[in-house]
Structure 1
Amino acid sequence: MLQKKLSQALDPEMHDGPGLSRTNNWIVALICLSILLGVFETEPNLTHGLEPLYAAAHLFFFAAFLIEYLARLYAASLNPRYGSPWRYALTFASLVDLIVLLAFIFPFLGLEATLFRMFRAARLVRLARLGRYSLAMQMISQAIVQRRYELGVSIVAAFGLMLLSSTALYLAERDFQPENFGSIPRAMWWSVATLTTVGYGDIVPVTPLGRIFAAFTAITGIGFIALPTGILAGAFSEALQNIRK
């Protein structure tokens, strides 16, 4: 009886109602709070003098997630996909949960745990994927798969333009800025920043020919880089229309 209740409360696939169960909604809230804790902890001004409070919060989250992890293992055998706790323990989702738990222990071993704590965000993705957004995510994924050839062509075209512009700037600027354009790989950093319209400004062409190439790259890049965005937007729109039908 307890195992069945835990399965319905913790396993989105075994939940009868729409969306996530109340228990999983609370777990999502705890995950969000633990992520914020990990983010705030990297700012010295927010941790000075509050180390005991942060330690207590980490201990609370560790206990909560440990209980949740053990409960999921206990209830996993009721899901036909797993059949036993051990098969569930070897799934990607369970391994992510285990890494999150280990991240709480790392500081006591003198290890850096900030990166591993950010794995908590992966748990949100997993819960969302299995919850109320599962149908929408499936349809969006199918729409992207249907446009994979258009996406592939646009990505190859963008890469070709990047390579072409890098080569052009290498030929035009290599004698004047060998540290920035002394090779095609060095020029690629400028090309990526220009094509994506980021424009950091740390590397700029100084020769007239280089500036002409740069202007052509910037203007052409607007269209080429926008292609994947437009294709993805069309795929998402198509998926939403299918959902409404």
Structure 2
Amino acid sequence: MSSDGKLYFDMDMKIFQKKVYNFLERPSRGWICFAYHFMVFLIVLFCLVIGVICTIGEYEEKITQKFIYVETFLLVFFASEYIIRVWSAGCRAKFKGWIGRFHFMRTPISLIDLFVVLASSVVIGFHISGRIGSANPVMAASPALRIIRFFQILRMLHVDRKAHSWKLLLNVAYLHRIELITTMYMGFIVLIVTSYLVYLAERDYIIEGTRPFESYADALWFGIVTVATIGYGDRVPHTWPGRIVTACLSMVGIAFFSLPAGILGSGFALHVQQKEKQKNVS
């Protein structure tokens, strides 16, 4: 190949490399790119649903044996995509060369992709070798293998590679940090004070030979469950002073702890409006 031909080939390869990088790393560019990433999202969601079903005892063995072929295909798919991502990252100046590729592989989302591929390889390897199955239930239920399976769940982070959602949340929280800190501080003060009052009112009450509020920690747990509007019912005030304090906690505490949701909601709305105004101006 002549020098001119090699030069044109290198230029075409760089253009192709940049197109591949934009296609994989910037999903908003074109409907084909969006369709590909939406397909990946559906695949990841499907894997998550199957992974949840596999933890149910009566379905675990049947689904796991059949799903191993799908898992193998997904391993090849995500491993190939990871290699292509590392190769295409060379179109950017900071990721050029072997050292630049290594820096790209050290980014958080690339590390997660690598962990997912390695975790899937380990799980598939155990299945192929026959070490996971009805013949070896101890190995199937080992804590190490459960941790490895957890990395497969991290495929959901593959959908938002640039972490735009997390950046938006952190940006809104930072802009409204004063309001959030103030409301959470006041809510925390109300929680610890009223929980202690409930403890004082209920600590001597005995039901069926036990004291529901034996310690301040029990009362604090009760207060957290109350302001979170969960209401497990494992601890209930039985004295009238305790009930009155709990009523005050329900009205005041819940109001303070629900304010951060309203602050963040209004912050998101204002942020979206500002983005729309910037688009209209530009």
The reply to whether TM is greater than 0.5 is yes
Q: Which has the higher contact order (CA 8 A, sep 6+)?
A: 1
Does residue 1:203 correspond to 2:238, yes or no? no
How far apart, in 2, do the equivalents of 1:140 and 1:241 lie? 15
Equivalences for 1:122-161 in 2 at 5 Å? Answer: 122-126=157-161, 129=163, 134=164, 141-161=170-190
How far apart, in 2, do the equivalents of 1:231 and 1:173 lie? 35
Equivalences for 1:51-70 in 2 at 5 Å? Answer: 51-70=64-83
> Which region of structure 1 is more displaced relative to structure 2, 147-156 or 2-11?
2-11
Return the match for 1:120 from 142, 152, 155: 155
Percentage of pairs with the same residue: 28
Q: CA deviation at 1:39?
A: 1.9
Q: Give the 4+ runs in structure 1 shifted more than 6 A.
A: none
The higher radius of gyration belongs to 2
Does residue 1:7 correspond to 2:21, yes or no? yes
Cα gap change, 1:80/1:154 in structure 2, threshold over 3 Å: closer, same or farther? farther
How far apart, in 1, do the equivalents of 2:235 and 2:217 lie? 14
How far apart, in 2, do the equivalents of 1:92 and 1:72 lie? 14
Cα gap change, 1:47/1:227 in structure 2, threshold over 3 Å: closer, same or farther? same
Count of equivalent residues = 238
Specify the alignment match of 2:225 in structure 1. Answer: 193
How far apart, in 2, do the equivalents of 1:59 and 1:72 lie? 20
> Which region of structure 1 is more displaced relative to structure 2, 141-150 or 56-65?
141-150
Cα gap change, 1:213/1:65 in structure 2, threshold over 3 Å: closer, same or farther? same
How far apart, in 2, do the equivalents of 1:79 and 1:106 lie? 32
Structure 2 unaligned spans of 5+: 1-12, 127-138, 140-144, 278-282
Cα gap change, 1:20/1:173 in structure 2, threshold over 3 Å: closer, same or farther? farther
Return the match for 1:95 from 111, 114, 117: 111
How far apart, in 1, do the equivalents of 2:220 and 2:169 lie? 33
Structure 1 unaligned spans of 5+: none
